[in-house]
Structure 1
Amino acid sequence: MRYLFAGGGTGGHIYPALSIAQALLEMDPSAEIVFVGSKRGLEKRIVPRHGFELKCLDIQAFQRKLSLDTLITLYKASMAVLSANKIITEFRPDVVIGTGGYVSGPPVFAAQLRKIPTVLQEQNALPGATTRILAKRADLVCVGYAVAKERLAAQVRRPDKVKDLGNPIRLNIMQTTRDEGYRILRLDPGKFTILVFGASQGSRAINKTMLALWPRLVGLTDWQVLWQTGENQYDLIRAELPPEFTEVEPQVIQYRNLQVRSYIHQMSAALAVSDLVIARAGAISLAEITAKGIPSILIPLPTAAENHQEHNARALERIGAAKVILEKDLHAESLWSQLINLINDEQQRQAMAEASRAVGKPLAATEIAQEIMRLAVKGRSGTH
């Protein structure tokens, strides 16, 4: 079977595709897989590193206001459909899978015009524009949130083709044990652990708040804090911290129970030891947090497209798995108030953990891959 994946721009669209692709290969080692991305997205660096072939389209994101740049974008999008059609002709995929981002549009649309089975994987609680446009003709739409299923079911001819299978996560997230996590990150097994991170580049708002809170955090006797600043902000944060914070290894400083890292390369280890997470509300981060059943305090990125991070965060808040602080309300006192309340209330933390675990779907990648394989077999047999 041959599978064509289209998606990219950000890690939130790339990593789900990689997780599904790896699940397909586990089930069918003879499967042929090609990725289509943009010349400007992170996929140009990430996809080849995972051993997959990447073909790039010259396309850019749509602007939300009419301008000359919008006209250029429309022209590039139409040319990208032609380029995607050529890739499809050469590769002859059995199924085309779109995981979101503007680059997923042309390949999925080209496949739909040719009656090739298409699958969409929507990560966010509020479906993105690309998903909403392509869902009507898609053969299968896999969503990460039940509320997304409700929103899309009203827009498609067959609501049964929209399935809430969860968001695919990295395979090693569920494999790393707590003991391994403590050893890898050099943390104290005798303490509860708070994990703090923004996106891969870090969050200025979260980092600024953490700088104001560190004197209180180091006073927590039964807790330790693992704080990822983001590689671009590590030096700035380090310069703001007192000399008591010493470098214990490159790009890692520590003082008492507070460990600061520029980037956590072993996120599976960090999640394995975490009892509470403070983070943004990207869909894949939340999928990993809930797969591990961890309670969280979420600070949605206000500039995310269509405010989708707040929709993601509110979906977890509604079921009791998370607390939400909007960035406009984020400061040392608001975060400390939520944090100390959870630290002092083990029963509430446990209830949030159970709610988080109940909505988590650690097998999402495998289940989505199974649906894709069924569609591919059905298409080849001519019963599609």
Structure 2
Amino acid sequence: MMVVLAGGGTAGHIEPALALADALRRAEPQIGITCLGTERGLETRLVPLRGYDLAMVPAVPLPRALTPKLLTVPGRLAGAISAAAGILDRVRADVLVGFGGYVATPGYGGAWRRGVPIVVHEANPKAGLANRLGARLTDHVFTGHPDAQLSGGRYIGIPIREQISQLDRLALGDKSRAHFGLRDDLPTLLVFGGSQGARSINQAVTDARPLFRQAGVQVLHVVGPKNAAEPEDHTADGVPFITVPYVDRMDLAYAAADMALCRAGALTCAELAAVGLPAVYVPLPHGNGEQRLNAEPIVSAGGGLLVDDSQLTAEWIRDNVLGVLTDTDRVVGMSEAASSTGRRNADDELAHIVLNVIREKRSEGR
């Protein structure tokens, strides 16, 4: 069997694709997997690191509005579709699975041209243009958000890494806190703002440092690599406050924490719900409001708090977060509520679907 995955550009597209790749290999160890990518996306680094083949197609960003740039799209898109079709031919693809982003549109076009079955997965509540197109070319459409706006979509959740989906936070808690230099007897807040950090989150949490110390709440603050070169220990009065540029092992960071304070990207929300880690969600203040929609089902279930970026201050943290973190019963209740909204096995479920699509296609050809 040979599967081609099309989901490049951002981690939100790439990580679910790689989680599916891992699940496919667990189910069928001899399966062949090739990922489509562009030279400008994170996939150029992430895909080879995970041990998968990467084949390049030209990037063709689709304008979101009617501008003169729209006139240049058809010619460039035709070239990208031809490149994708050539890759499908070369690897003798049985199926193409698209996750959206620049690389998905030529992938869908190439697969449709070659008669290769298409599977679409949309992680966000508002589907992008690429997946709206892909959904018109197949009956195999799946979503990561229960209220996703994509015709024919069936909700299965977002595929996440097995390292996260199978995490036992309670079993790894003490070990994880020791790994980061944290105490095992204090409530712990994990703060992160995405791969590069988030200025507003970093500022509010830094301003609140004395308040954390007074409340006896320790903090692991992932500030982003552009904001720090090395880890720093700001422990005072025996209450740790650790800042790090980045964390390679987010499973350990999740296990160390009692609550997170973070953005509300689709993948972040899926991971936190899956492991039952309650969170304070701070949606990006720009865009189409998608991040707020990502967090709302978790918050509505009681598994988190939601605050506008402009309202996040040290005082807001004092009034709304510290009291929760120091109330063990409430943290436990929020953890259970968050977990009730999570999907731990979306990777295996989607892998099962993809394998069935291949088998059905092959049986039809006999």
TM-score range, shorter chain: over 0.9
Task: Tell me the residue number matched to 1:185.
Answer: 180
Residue in structure 2 matching 1:164, options 136, 155, 158? 155
- In structure 1, distance between residues paired with 2:74 and 2:333: 49
Shift of 1:125: 2.2
TM-score, normalisation: structure 2: 0.92
Which deviates more from structure 2 when the two are superposed, residues 49-58 or residues 169-178? 169-178
Residue in structure 1 matching 2:254, options 268, 271, 283? 271
Task: Tell me the residue number matched to 1:280.
Answer: 263
Query: How do 1:1-384 residues align onto structure 2 when only pairs under 5 Å count?
Result: 1-148=1-148, 151-152=149-150, 155-156=151-152, 162-173=153-164, 174-175=166-167, 177-221=172-216, 223-234=217-228, 250-256=230-236, 257-304=240-287, 306-382=288-364
Shift of 1:179: 3.1
Which deviates more from structure 2 when the two are superposed, residues 35-44 or residues 350-359? 350-359
- In structure 2, distance between residues paired with 1:335 and 1:133: 42
Residue type of the partner of 2:219? V
Matched residue pairs, number? 359
**Structure 1: tracts of 5 or more residues without a match:** 157-161, 236-249
Contact 2:85 2:113 survives alignment (8 Å): no
- In structure 1, distance between residues paired with 2:113 and 2:318: 54
User: Structure 1 pair 75/214, CA: closer, same or farther in 2 (3 Å)?
Assistant: farther
Residue type of the partner of 1:330? L
User: Structure 1 pair 194/97, CA: closer, same or farther in 2 (3 Å)?
Assistant: same
Aligned residue for 1:297, secondary structure, equals strand
Shift of 1:103: 1.3
TM-score, normalisation: structure 1: 0.88
Contact 1:117 1:139 survives alignment (8 Å): no
Shift of 1:340: 2.4
**CA offsets 1:160-198 (integer angstroms, 9 cap, x no match):** xx3322111111123462233123222211122110000
Shift of 1:135: 1.1
Shift of 1:199: 0.4
Residue type of the partner of 2:202? N
- In structure 2, distance between residues paired with 1:186 and 1:91: 47
- In structure 2, distance between residues paired with 1:179 and 1:333: 30
User: Structure 1 pair 41/332, CA: closer, same or farther in 2 (3 Å)?
Assistant: same
Contact 1:278 1:298 survives alignment (8 Å): yes
Shift of 1:319: 2.2
Residue type of the partner of 1:291? A
Which deviates more from structure 2 when the two are superposed, residues 97-106 or residues 63-72? 63-72
Contact 2:273 2:298 survives alignment (8 Å): no
Aligned residue for 1:218, secondary structure, equals helix
Shift of 1:73: 4.0
Contact 2:59 2:80 survives alignment (8 Å): yes
- In structure 1, distance between residues paired with 2:205 and 2:73: 40
Quick one: percent identity of the two aligned structures? 31
Shift of 1:87: 1.0
